[in-house]
Amino acid sequence: MDAMPKWADVILIPVISILLAAILSALVILAIGENPWAALKLMVDGALGSTYGWGYTIYYATNFIFTGLAVALASQAKLFNIGGEGQALLGGLGVAIVCLYVPWPHWTLALLGAAAAAALFGAAWAAIPAFLQAKRGSHIVITTIMFNFIAAALLNYFLIGALKAPGMEPATAKFPEPTHLPSFQDMFNFGDTTFFRGAPANVTFFVAIAACVFVWALVWRTRLGYEIRSFGESESAAKYAGINPTKIIMVTMLISGALAGMMAINNVQGEAERLVLNAAEGAGFIGIAVALMGRNHPFGVLLAALLFGFLYQGGAELALWTSIPRELIIVIQALVILFTGALDNMVRMPLARLFLSLRRA
Amino acid sequence: MTLTQKLFGAAATVALTAGTATADPAILFDLGGKFDKSFNESAYNGAQRWADETGGSYAEVEIQSDAQREQAIRRFAESGANPIVMAGFSWATPLGEVAADYPDTKFTIIDMVVDAPNVRSVVFNEHEGSYLVGMMAAMASETDTVSFVGGMDIPLIRNFACGYAQGALAANPDVTVIANMTGTTPAAWNDPVKGSELTLAQISQGSDVVYAAAGGTGVGVLQTAADSDIYSIGVDSNQNYLHPGSVLTSMLKRVDNAVYESFTAGDAVETGFNVMGLNNGGVGYAVDENNEALITADMQTALDDAEAKIISGEIAVHNYNSDETCPAYDF
């Protein structure tokens, strides 16, 4: 990786990838007879042109920060945790149980309690694949993705059974008033002008920022973080240095699962204020792209999460105001994921060669 | 630019765009998407019929996630769309929260009741239409066994099954009714393979008429019935054309009429609770060139008689939703 200066790795590659995705998306929009420039303008206006748009962008970004951090942390130990979706669903179950059955006096305490429950449930869900990896060598990619399906089925079971509220929907009852988190609208209300009107962004965003700082400090400023990184670089060398691989796998995956689970305080407690089926809505998978694009660094994850928040909110605006079918909006979102996540090397390798030849010259 | 300046600038932009209000109506489809050959498509047809007849235009959205429900309602309300029609019971929770914020906007919700002064709630007497097709099924059956395949197991769908069973037993007290639900989650609306399996299981129990009230799952039910040379009954839209000669009839639920009426009334749409039943053309059964040969004169007489009696109140079809019990079938 030393072929390129750091700025090229961190900035140039993501920017080129996004541009390529944007060009392809523009061609797709053109092919169905819409104006790509107008579509782009609509997306930017809708997602960033008002505090309302920002409110949604930040709401989505908050989800992606948590799941992105979960993937990024596990990646430091070269563990590919693609079970963020299931861990976030289980986190939602924890939040729902705590919010419904504990009489919280104030939202601050409810936030602490719900965050703890979400982290606990998410970590517990990650613990089983982690144990299987550490003790039995079952591949973590296979087990975590299978656990997503089990999580979805488990959630179905609770939402049509024990936790179901009366009515037709498979959903829990509305959480009681004291557990409702203050939204940005409540927080930034200065008399006459209401900012973030009706947007779901809430106090959880600051928890997400704190989580970014926590992960950064953990990975680069603690002994455990050093052990995690050493294990990731070389398991045999780490073993030789006296690092216990079982412990590292377990601890890393538990924290990773806890981070993914904590997404639920944003979408379940903060936005829906009840638990519905499929509450995570794919954020666990977006987390993989966010971590890849953010180079597994918390600050990168924050920026990438904001980009994906923009894509989600911009996509919703496209669906509202144009006749671009929603399937094509998914195609546009997928193109960005494809280029920034999966096709990273397509941009990286020619660029690395270019920098190498520049250096020789 | 400081952050506050940016924020104020942004607020000004919102104020400007809010000025360009349109009075076009808007329709919000449920997660199934507007071309689901059933419920949402029927709503779309109603909106399209209005547009074709009046030359007007309307805003529409197919949402991608539950988080977008409230967003979609708010955005359309803020753009000045009026009335805003939404198809499906899942809209009730977000609409209940949002409706009070836009007192000048009229909302219509289909299949669920939201109690707010600016909301028109439209529900259908599915049990009445199902009663009629149940009678038809029992009269067409040679094995004295008829069956039902439901989508997601919710009271709404049990109401279809209950009306069907009541009609079948009214036409032939010796008939056996079998009912199965595809599943307990929204995935049950779009699982034609499972629908087909359930139909085969019911055929093995002797059924020779099967009624599908299962959204996209019903496509598999109707296909299997046609392959096995038994009768089937479609739902929501007219599905007679899918397998002429095998589809006995379709229980029509005129979602399109509900959308069309709201769009036509515009912002003067009458709010409150609205029931669409046999008496006002909200439900019924389809007869066209694909199935008219299947309906005998005896059947027609009995159906016309029952229809008149339901409308006059002489026959009271039990509504499962009223007390979550069914006199004719034990779920």
pLDDT of residue A336: 83
Closest CA to B38 of B231, B188, B138: B188
Q: Tell me the H-state helices in B20-154.
A: 39-54, 68-78, 92-98, 126-140
Contact B120, B270 (CB under 8 A): yes
Chain A residue with CA closest to B113: the answer is A167
Rounded percentage of chain A residues whose pLDDT exceeds 70: 99
Domain count, chain A: 1
A325/B contact by beta carbon, under 8 A:
yes
Query: Chain B residue closest to A48 (CA)?
Result: B10
Whether residue A40 is contained in a domain is answered as no
According to DSSP, the residues that pair with B286 across neighbouring strands are none
**Boundaries of domain holding A230:** 59-305
Residue in A169, A195, A271 closest to B90 by CB? A169
What chain B residue is nearest to A194 in terms of C-alpha separation? B11
Q: Which two tokens stand for residue B279?
A: 């008496």
Closest-CA residue in chain A for B324? A167
Pairing of strands B283-285, B247-253: antiparallel
Query: How many Å apart are CA A61 and CA A68, to the nearest integer?
Result: 10
| Percent of chain A's residues with pLDDT above 90 | 65
Query: What pLDDT is attached to residue B76?
Result: 92
The pLDDT of residue A170 is 83
**CA-to-CA distance for B87 and B246, rounded, in angstroms?**
30
A-chain residue closest to B35, CA distance: A325
pLDDT of residue A342: 73
Residue B281 gets the label, from left (phi > 0), alpha (psi -120 to 50) or beta, of left
Collect all residues with Cβ–Cβ distance below 8 Å to A25 and sequence separation of at least 6. Answer: A36, A331, A332, A335, A336
Average pLDDT over residues A108-128: 97
Q: What is the CATH number of domain B126-252+296-323?
A: 3.40.50.2300
* Positive or negative torsion for Cα A101, A107, A113, A118: positive
CA torsion A42-A44-A45-A51 (nearest 10°) is 150
Please tell me the total number of residues recorded for chain B in this structure. Answer: 331
Instruction: Give the pLDDT band of residue B256 (cuts 50, 70, 90).
Output: very high
Contacts across the A-B interface (CB distance below 8 Å): 79
pLDDT band at B22 (very low <50, low <70, confident <90, very high): low
Does A277 lie at the interface with B, CB-CB under 8 angstroms?
Answer: yes
Among A51, A278, A326, the residue with its CB nearest the CB of B10 is: A51
φ and ψ of A334, to 5 deg: -65, -35
Q: Which helix (H) or strand (E) holds B147?
A: strand B145-152
Chain A residues in contact with B74 by the CB 8 A cut-off are 198
Q: What band does B33 get if pLDDT is binned at 50, 70 and 90?
A: confident
In a domain, A274, yes or no: yes
Partners of A169 on chain B (C-beta within 8 Å) are 89-90, 93
Question: Which tokens sit at B293?
Answer: 């040969």
pLDDT score of B44 = 94
CA distance B229 to chain A (A): 35
Q: What is the per-residue DSSP string for A202-217?
A: BTHHHHHHHHHHHHHH
Cβ-nearest to A50 among B14, B65, B155: B14
Q: Which amino acid is at B156?
A: L
Half-sphere exposure of B62 (CA within 13 A, CB side): 18
Quickly state the pLDDT bin for B55 (edges 50, 70, 90). Answer: very high
For residue A69, what are the contacts with CB-CB under 8 A and spacing of at least 6?
A211, A212, A215, A259, A287, A291, A298, A301
What was the pLDDT predicted at A193? 74
Query: pLDDT tens digits, residue range B210-231?
Result: 999 998 899 999 999 999 999 9
Give the per-residue pLDDT at B13.
42
| Three-class secondary structure of residue A256 per DSSP | helix
Q: Chain A residues with CB inside 8 Å of B6's CB?
A: none
Average pLDDT of chain A?
91
Is the Cβ–Cβ distance between A291 and A71 less than 8 Å?
Answer: yes
| Residues 6+ away with beta carbon under 8 Å from A281 | A267, B65, B66, B67
Average pLDDT (A118-141) is 96
CATH 3.90.1300.10 fits B21-124+254-282, yes or no: no
State phi, psi for B277 to the nearest 5 degrees. Answer: -130, -160
pLDDT tens readout for residues A198-209: 789 999 999 999
CATH number of the domain at A269, please.
1.10.3470
- Pick the range with the lowest mean pLDDT from A24-28, B92-96, B321-325: B321-325
Confidence of residue A2 (pLDDT cuts 50, 70, 90): low
Give the count of beta carbons closer than 10 Å to the beta carbon of residue B15: 11
DSSP state letters, B205-262: TT--EEEEESGGGHHHHHHHHHHTT-EEEEEES--GGGSTTTEEEEEEE-HHHHHHHH
* Average pLDDT, integer, range A299-309: 94
Domain annotation covers residue A218: yes
* Model confidence, pTM: 0.84
Cβ separation of B14 and A316 shorter than 8 Å?
no
Instruction: Name residue, tokens 């016309």.
Output: B304
The strand ranges marked E within chain A are 189-190, 193-194
Residue A234 lies in a domain: yes
Domain(s) of CATH 3.40.50.2300: residues in chain B: 21-124+254-282, 126-252+296-323
Q: What is the ipTM of this complex?
A: 0.77
Query: Do the beta carbons of residue B167 and residue B135 sit within 8 Å?
Result: yes
Nearest-Cα distance to chain A for B300, in Å, is: 35
Whether residue B65 contacts residue A324, with contact meaning beta carbons closer than 8 Å, is answered with: no
Q: A278 to chain B: which residues are within 8 Å by CB? A: 66
Q: Distance between CA atoms of B99 and B117, rounded to whole angstroms?
A: 9
| Average pLDDT score over residue span B103-128 | 94
Q: Which has the higher per-residue pLDDT, B9 or A309? A: A309
Residue A281 has its nearest CB partner, among B8, B65, B70, at B65
Q: In this predicted model, what pLDDT tens digit does every residue of A45-102 receive, in sequence order?
A: 999 998 889 999 999 999 999 999 999 999 999 999 999 999 999 999 999 999 999 9
Cα-based torsion angle of the residue sequence A192, A198, A203, A204 in order, rounded to the nearest 10 degrees = -160
- ∠ Cα B233 B234 B236 (to 5°): 140
- Min Cα distance B90 → chain A (Å) is 7
Residue A129 in domain = yes
Residue B175 near residue B139 (C-beta atoms within 8 A):
no
Q: CA–CA distance from B300 to each of B133, B171, B285, B293, B304 (Å)?
A: 11, 12, 12, 11, 6
What's the average model confidence in pLDDT over B298-312? 95
Q: Identify the closest residue of chain B to A170 by CA–CA distance.
A: B185
Q: Does A195 touch chain B (CB under 8 A)?
A: yes
Distance from CA of A246 to the nearest CA of B (A): 39
How far is residue B197's CA from residue B188's CA, in Å, rounded to a whole number?
13
Residues in chain A closer than 8 A to B186 (CB atoms): 170, 277
B135-180: pLDDT as tens digits: 999 999 999 999 999 998 888 899 999 999 999 999 999 999 999 9
Percent of residues, chain B, with pLDDT higher than 70: 93
> A32 vs chain B: nearest CA distance in angstroms?
18
Closest residue by Cα to residue A52 from B290, B74, B326 = B74
B218 neighbors B187 (Cβ within 8 angstroms): no
Q: Is residue A65 part of a domain?
A: yes
Using the beta-carbon criterion (under 8 Å), do B7 and A315 form an inter-chain contact?
A: no
